[in-house]
Structure 1
Amino acid sequence: MRRRGVVLSLLALIVTAVSVPTAAAADGTKYVAMGSSFAAGPGIPSLQPGSPSVCARSDHNYPSVLAAQLGLALTDVSCSGATTANILDSGQAGLPPQIQAVTPDTRLVTATIGGNDVNYIGSLNTYSCQTSGRTGCGTVDQNAINATFGVLQSRLENVANAVRQRAPQAKMVFVEYLSIVPTAVACDGVPLTREQLAFEHSIALRLADSTRAAALSTGSTVVEVTPASRGHDACSATPWVEKYTVPSGRTPYHPNEAGMNAVARLVRTALTR
C-alpha cells in the first residue's frame, strides 16, 4: 500500500504537470537523481548552476528534464565517472557519497550506474583510440571486465537496498544506459573493429541484464532504455549519443540533448504504468 500511494502521488503530478524550472518546484515531491555521466550529461549545455565542475552536470540532463515536467523538487547528485562505490561508500573529488542525498522525505530516486564499474565507456574510448592509430591509448583488460560482471548485480542491489533503508517510502527506479554503438558494423566517427564492436555490444547487453536482475530482486522499477534506444546509436540517422569524433565541447560516446529528452520520456512513461 505504501508503494501504491507513492505511485498514485506521482501519477497526480503527471496529470497536472507543467514545464517549470526545477528551482520553482521547492514544495514538490523530493526527487533524488544518482548515477554516472549518463545521468549527469557532460558536454550538454549548460552546467547546473553551483554544481561541482568535476561532475559536468548539465541542466538539460534527464533528471532536470523530468523534474521540470513533473514539478518535482530535484536533488541531483549524479557525477561523471561515478561507480557504485561512489554512490555508497566514497564520493568523488571530496564530495560525499551520493546516497547521503537520500533522506526520509525522498519519494523518488533514479540511478543510472554500473557502466564505470565495468569500464564500459573507458573501453570504448580505448579501442577507438587504438583503431584510429593514435598513441598512448592504454589497453582494455577484458578479463577484469568479465570478472566485475560477476559482482555487478549485487553492487546494484546494494544501491537499491541502501535507498530503501534511508527512504522507505521512496520509489526506486534503475534507468539503463542508452545504446551507444550498432550491433554489426561501425561507421565513420566510430572507429571500432568487428571484434571490438562485438565485445562492446556484449558489455551493453550484460550491463542491462544485471540492472534488470537487480531491479527484480529488490522490488525496484527498471526503465529499459537499452532496447528502447536501439536504432538511435551513434551511427544512426537520429542518434541519441555522440560518436567518438565530436565537435568541440561535446563528450565522446555520451548522450546528446535528444538522448536525454528520450530518457526523460521513457522514465515518465514507466512512472505511469
Structure 2
Amino acid sequence: MHATRRIVHPAVRRGRGARWLAAASASAALAASLLTAAPAFAASNGYLALGDSYATGQAIGGAKGADPACLQSPASYPSQIAADFGLALTDNTCSGAVLDDVFSTSSAGRPPQAGAPADSIGLITLSMGGNDLGFRSVLTNCLAVSATGPITDGAASCREKHTSGGVDDIVQKLTNEVTPKFEATLAKLRTTYPKARILVVGYLPLMPDAAHTPAGGCFQKLTLQGAIFPFVTTDLEWMHSVQRTVDVQFQQAAENTGAEYLSQLTTAADHTVCSASGQPYIGSLELRGLSGATPQSFHPNAAGLKATGQAVAAALQPRDAFQGIRGQLAPLGGDQYQLQIIVPRSLTSVPDVAATKNGEYLGTVKGSEYYYLYQRTGAATRTYYNTITVTPGDQVELRVHQNGTRQVLTPLPDSFQGVTGQLVHTGGTSSVLEIWVPINTLYTTPGVTARNNGHYLSHVAGEHAWYLSLSSVPGYRVYRQAVTVNPGDVVTLDVGGTGEKQTLN
C-alpha cells in the first residue's frame, strides 16, 4: 500500500533551519569525539553464533566450548567478532549441523542452537545449509581417476553423475528443499529475535570459476596418505556454479526475511583449494589411511578463518552510524532532483538523519517521524523524499546527528541504471566506499568503476566485483571497500564508454 503524508514538527520551522543545523552540528561534533566506531546492534551486546563446520573452524588451533565434538576453534569468525566488538558470545555452532538444529534438538541430542533468550541477543550470525544440501557427499563421491575422468564409480564426470534429463539434481534439491527450509529458518529467527541484527555469512568458495582455474587444473591422484586433489578439471567450474547458485538463493532468502547477507565468492575467488595465484583459504582433501579424511579437509584453514572474520567485521562496521540507510538524488529534469532517504524496513530503531544542501537544512528522518519530507513504503524499504534544486557546485549531504558521520550525495546519471555510490566517512582520512546495486529492478549491473583522482580503486560488472567485499541489505547488493581520502581528493564512479560520472565527495 502506498502512503504519502507530510509531518512538520512544531519545533522545526524553515526559518530556523540554519540555527537548528548549527546546534545539531555542534552536538554531532561533540558526539563524534566521544563515540567509538562500534556497530549498531540492539540494546544488548549479546551475540548468538549459529552454524556448521564452516563457522566452528574445525578445531584449528585447538578446541573450545563445552562439547569438544563440535570442533569449535578459538580462531573461528564468531570468536574474532566477539573479541573485536566486545560482545558477549553464545557460540552454539557445531560441526555437522543442519538447519533443523537451529530450533530442534539435533540427531546427536544437542539442544537447539537458537535457545538464547530474545532480550539477551543483539547480533546473530548464521552459516548453515551446506550439510542439508550434501556438500561433503558430493565431494567424496566425485573423486576421479584422472584429470579427464572418469570418477571412481565409472561416470565420466561429477556433473554427468548429477544430471538427468538435462536437470541438475543438486540444484533441484537446493531449489525445492534446502532454500525453502533456509528461508523458513531465517523467518523464524526474525520473529524469535525481533530486535537482533541477523547476518548470514556465505561460504568461502571451494572450487574456482573458469577465470581463476590454473592452466591444466590442479589434479593430484588419489592416495591414502597426504593432501590430494582428485577431481576432473571440467568439474571445477560446475562445482563453482552450484555454489554460486547456493549463494544467490540464500541471499534472496535473506532479503525476503529482512536479514543481511555476506557473500565471499567474489572477494575470495582466487583463494580456493585450486588457486591460480592467491593463498588458499580452504584446506585440500587430506586422507589418513583407511580412517578417511581429516576434519580440516575442504574447510577454512587458518588464513580462511582470518579472512572470514575480517569480512564479517567489515560487513558489520559500516552500519555504525547509518545502519543501512542511504541517500540518493534521482533526476527529474533540468536542475530538479528528488532527494531520497531510503530506510530498510528491517531497522527497529532509526537514527536521527538530517539532509542539508550547502549547510542549509532540508529535512530529517528520526525514528518513526520525519520532517519536511514525504514518505512511500515498499516491500523492503521506506523512502522519504522531496524535490530540491541542485546546481553545479552544490553539496548535498546526509548526516547522522549522534556522531556526525555523513554521506555526500551526487546526482544520478541515467547510465548508472540506479547503481549509486557513496563515501561513508569513518574518521580522519578513512572512509568506506560503497556501491549500491538494486536487485529488484536491475538484472544486469553495468560496468561501474571507482577511482580516486583518476586512479583505479575497484569495479563492479554483472555479477562480478574486484577489490570489493559484498554484503546485502533488503533490496540491494552492497559492495564495500576501505579507502583513504585526503583533502582535495576526488572519488568518482564512472560507467565505461559513456563518460558519465558520479562524484562522491
Deviations 1:49-86 (A, max 9, x none): 42x23211111111111111111111111111111112
Please list every run of 5 or more consecutive structure 1 residues that lacks an aligned counterpart in the other structure: 1-11, 18-27
> Equivalents in 1 of 2:73, 2:184: separation in Å?
27
Contact 1:104 1:166 in 2 (8 A): no
Please list every run of 5 or more consecutive structure 2 residues that lacks an aligned counterpart in the other structure: 1-33, 221-227, 319-505
Quick one: structure 1 residues 84 and 16, their matched pair in 2 at CA, closer, same or farther if it must change by over 3 Å?
closer
Amino acid at match of 1:269: A
Counterpart for residue 232 of structure 1: 271
Matched, 1:41 2:57: yes
> Equivalents in 2 of 1:14, 1:199: separation in Å?
45
1:221 corresponds, among 260, 271, 274, to 260
Amino acid at match of 2:188: A
Which residues of 2 match residues 47-66 of structure 1 at below 5 A? 47-50=63-66, 52-66=67-81
Most deviating of 123-132 and 73-82: 123-132
> Equivalents in 2 of 1:13, 1:222: separation in Å?
27
Counterpart for residue 6 of structure 1: none
Contact 2:208 2:237 in 1 (8 A): no
Contact 2:78 2:309 in 1 (8 A): yes
Counterpart for residue 133 of structure 2: 118
User: CA RMSD for the aligned pairs?
Assistant: 3.0
Quick one: structure 1 residues 130 and 88, their matched pair in 2 at CA, closer, same or farther if it must change by over 3 Å?
farther
Post-superposition offset of 1:135: 7.7
Report SS of the residue matched to 1:101.
coil
1:178 corresponds, among 180, 204, 208, to 204
> Equivalents in 1 of 2:100, 2:108: separation in Å?
13
Quick one: structure 1 residues 91 and 256, their matched pair in 2 at CA, closer, same or farther if it must change by over 3 Å?
same
Amino acid at match of 1:91: S
> Equivalents in 2 of 1:130, 1:79: separation in Å?
33
Structure with the bigger percentage of strand: 2
Counterpart for residue 20 of structure 1: none
2:300 corresponds, among 242, 249, 255, to 255
1:272 corresponds, among 308, 317, 332, to 317
Most deviating of 214-223 and 191-200: 191-200
Contact 2:64 2:72 in 1 (8 A): yes
> Equivalents in 2 of 1:35, 1:246: separation in Å?
25
In the superposition, the TM-score normalised over structure 1's length comes to: 0.81
Post-superposition offset of 1:271: 1.1
Post-superposition offset of 1:197: 2.0
Post-superposition offset of 1:134: 10
Quick one: structure 1 residues 192 and 254, their matched pair in 2 at CA, closer, same or farther if it must change by over 3 Å?
same
Deviations 1:64-110 (A, max 9, x none): 11111111111111111111112233324110121223633211000
Amino acid at match of 2:91: D
Deviations 1:163-211 (A, max 9, x none): 2222111001000000111224441432110343233112211110111
1:76 corresponds, among 91, 110, 127, to 91
Larger Rg: 2
Contact 1:104 1:168 in 2 (8 A): no
Counterpart for residue 172 of structure 2: 147
Amino acid at match of 1:182: P
Most deviating of 112-121 and 89-98: 89-98
Counterpart for residue 201 of structure 1: 240
Contact 1:65 1:264 in 2 (8 A): yes
> Identity of counterpart residues, as a percentage?
29
Post-superposition offset of 1:264: 1.0
In the superposition, the TM-score normalised over structure 2's length comes to: 0.45
> Equivalents in 2 of 1:134, 1:213: separation in Å?
34
Report SS of the residue matched to 2:133.
coil
Counterpart for residue 245 of structure 1: 286
Contact 2:199 2:259 in 1 (8 A): yes
Quick one: structure 1 residues 150 and 261, their matched pair in 2 at CA, closer, same or farther if it must change by over 3 Å?
same
Amino acid at match of 2:64: Q
Between the two structures, name the one with larger relative contact order (CA 8 Å, sep ≥ 6): 1
Matched, 1:156 2:156: no
Amino acid at match of 1:230: A
Quick one: structure 1 residues 82 and 49, their matched pair in 2 at CA, closer, same or farther if it must change by over 3 Å?
closer
Contact 1:124 1:200 in 2 (8 A): no
Contact 1:128 1:244 in 2 (8 A): no
Report SS of the residue matched to 2:143.
helix
Deviations 1:118-164 (A, max 9, x none): 1123311321377699989xx97666523321233322222222222
> Equivalents in 2 of 1:104, 1:58: separation in Å?
27
Structure with the bigger percentage of helix: 1
Structure 1 stretches (4+) deviating beyond 4 angstroms?
Answer: 129-136, 139-144, 246-250
> Equivalents in 2 of 1:179, 1:215: separation in Å?
19
Report SS of the residue matched to 2:47.
strand
Amino acid at match of 2:297: P
> Equivalents in 1 of 2:191, 2:300: separation in Å?
31
Q: Paired residues, what number?
A: 250
Report SS of the residue matched to 2:307.
helix
Quick one: structure 1 residues 129 and 61, their matched pair in 2 at CA, closer, same or farther if it must change by over 3 Å?
farther
Report SS of the residue matched to 1:99.
coil
Deviations 1:208-254 (A, max 9, x none): 01111011111111111122111011122401110113799651100
Amino acid at match of 1:240: Y
Counterpart for residue 29 of structure 1: 45
Contact 1:34 1:109 in 2 (8 A): yes
Counterpart for residue 37 of structure 2: 15
